């Protein structure tokens, strides 16, 4: 009886993963092995179940890895992947720098304040993501709020060009994903036992020393979770670079959209997406194993 229950517990998330991750992934992967065509849908081969199993096999022979070879031949794709990973890594680091003090402050705030502070972090989600990114256009443009303010206090004499640069993309990503950094950090820091710090200080450790030796190591699961939650969507981000970035902002999300919309080449677009997924999955698996090992040794 217990074995069945245990299996049920595993099978539900497994089915979930199957339905919403593996099945869509295999559809995309299948298209990435096809060739483009002027048809509906715009690729061949398409499968018709009425042809029977042998018919399916016959069609499957048309599959090829040509699109993947294509991706290696043009430096555009490699540069786009690299530039996306760089921008995502920089935004993750920035979000951590800003998010950690925020989460720490929230965790150490008086208990009756915490729900309000938590609410303030979640509040921006009540406005559409698109509108919040659009609002940044108004803030960052040459005659926008930020420049007007800086001119008024006399820090600059000429408006800064921020909009349509990589800096604007970075600001947009950090702003949009900051809550995803703060929330997991907060939940680990809140559960932390602060008597440990008192003990360290009693034993002669400085406040900074106690922070690095106790708070940070204990917050590692939160830091990892927060970094993943920011880094992974940031790599594939399309809306923010499209609205805030300039002509020279190269990100894989934009390159993928170009393949899909301008070249109407669904197979190459699917190949780009498959590789993007591999780039993201490898670090996730790596981190998970590292975490699992850390937990094992911690016991």
Partner 1 sequence: MKKTTLLLSAVAALAMSEAALAQDRVVNVYNWSDYIDDTILADFTKETGIKIVYDVFDSNEILETKLLAGSTGYDIVVPTGTFLARQITAGVFQKIDKSKLPNIANMDPAIMERLQKYDPGNEHGVNYMWGTTGIGYNVDKVAERLGADYKVNTWDMLFKPEIAAKLADCGIYMLDTADEVVPAALNYLGLDPDSNSPDDLAKAEELLLSVRPSIRKFHSSEYINALANGDICVALGWSGDVLQARDRAAEANQGVKVEYAIPKEGALMWFDSFAIPADAKNVAEAHEFLNYMMRPDVIAKASNYVYYANGNSASKPQLNEDVIGDTAIYPDEETVNRLYTTSPKDQRTQRLLTRLWTKVVTGQ
Site for partner 1, rule CB under 8 A: 36, 38-42, 74-76, 79-80, 164, 247-250, 255, 258, 260-265
Nearer to partner 1, 147 or 249 (CB): 249
Looking at the Cβ atoms of 255 and 270, the one nearer to partner 1 is: 255
Q: Which is nearer to partner 1, 147 or 255 (CB)?
A: 255
Minimum distance from CB of 113 to partner 1 (Å)?
Answer: 45
| DSSP string for residues in 88-150 | HHHHHHHHHHHHHHHHHHHHHS-TTTHHHHHHHHHGGGGS-HHHHHHHHHHHHSTTSHHHHHH
Alpha-carbon gap, residue 146 to 162, rounded angstroms: 10
Q: Which is nearer to partner 1, 228 or 269 (CB)?
A: 269
Cα–Cα dist 195/209, whole Å: 15
Shortest distance in whole angstroms from residue 275 CB to partner 1: 17
**Could you tell me which residues come within 8 angstroms of residue 83 by beta carbon, excluding any fewer than 6 positions away?**
250, 251, 252
CB 38, min distance to partner 1, A: 5
Measured from the CB atom, the residue of 263 and 289 that comes closer to partner 1 is: 263
What distance, in Å, lies between the first and last C-alpha atoms of the chain? 29
Backbone angles phi, psi at 43, to 5 degrees: -155, 160
Could you tell me the smallest distance in angstroms from the CB atom of residue 77 to partner 1? 10
- The least CB distance from residue 265 to partner 1, in Å, is 7
- Cis omega (within 30 of 0) on the bond before 192? no
């Amino acid at each position: 009886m217990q074995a069945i229950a245990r299996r049920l517990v595993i099978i539900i998330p497994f089915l979930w993963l199957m339905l919403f991750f593996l099945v869509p992934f295999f559809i995309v992967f299948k298209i990435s092995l096809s060739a483009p065509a002027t048809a509906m849908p715009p690729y061949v081969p398409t499968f018709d179940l009425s042809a029977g199993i042998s018919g399916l096999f016959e069609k499957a022979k048309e599959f090829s890895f040509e699109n993947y070879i294509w991706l290696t031949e043009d430096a555009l794709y490699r540069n786009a992947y690299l530039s996306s990973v760089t921008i995502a890594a920089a935004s993750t680091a920035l979000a951590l720098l800003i998010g950690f003090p925020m989460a720490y402050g929230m965790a150490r705030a008086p208990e009756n304040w915490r729900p309000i502070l938590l609410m303030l972090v979640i509040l921006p989600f009540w406005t559409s993501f698109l509108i919040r990114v659009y609002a940044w256009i108004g803030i960052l443009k040459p005659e926008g709020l930020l420049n007007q303010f800086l001119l008024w206090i006399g820090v600059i004499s000429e408006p800064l060009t921020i909009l349509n640069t990589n800096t604007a993309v970075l600001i947009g990503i950090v702003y949009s994903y900051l809550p995803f950094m703060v929330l997991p950090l907060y939940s680990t820091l809140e559960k932390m036992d602060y008597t440990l710090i008192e003990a360290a200080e009693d034993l002669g450790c400085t406040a900074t020393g106690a922070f690095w030796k106790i708070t940070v190591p204990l917050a590692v699961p939160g830091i990892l979770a927060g970094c993943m939650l920011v880094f992974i969507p940031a790599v594939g981000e399309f809306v923010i670079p499209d609205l805030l970035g300039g002509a020279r902002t190269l990100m894989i999300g934009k390159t993928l959209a170009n393949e899909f919309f301008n070249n109407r080449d669904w197979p190459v677009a699917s190949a780009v997406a498959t590789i993007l997924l591999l780039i993201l999955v490898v670090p996730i698996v790596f981190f998970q194993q590292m975490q699992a090992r850390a937990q094992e040794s911690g016991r």
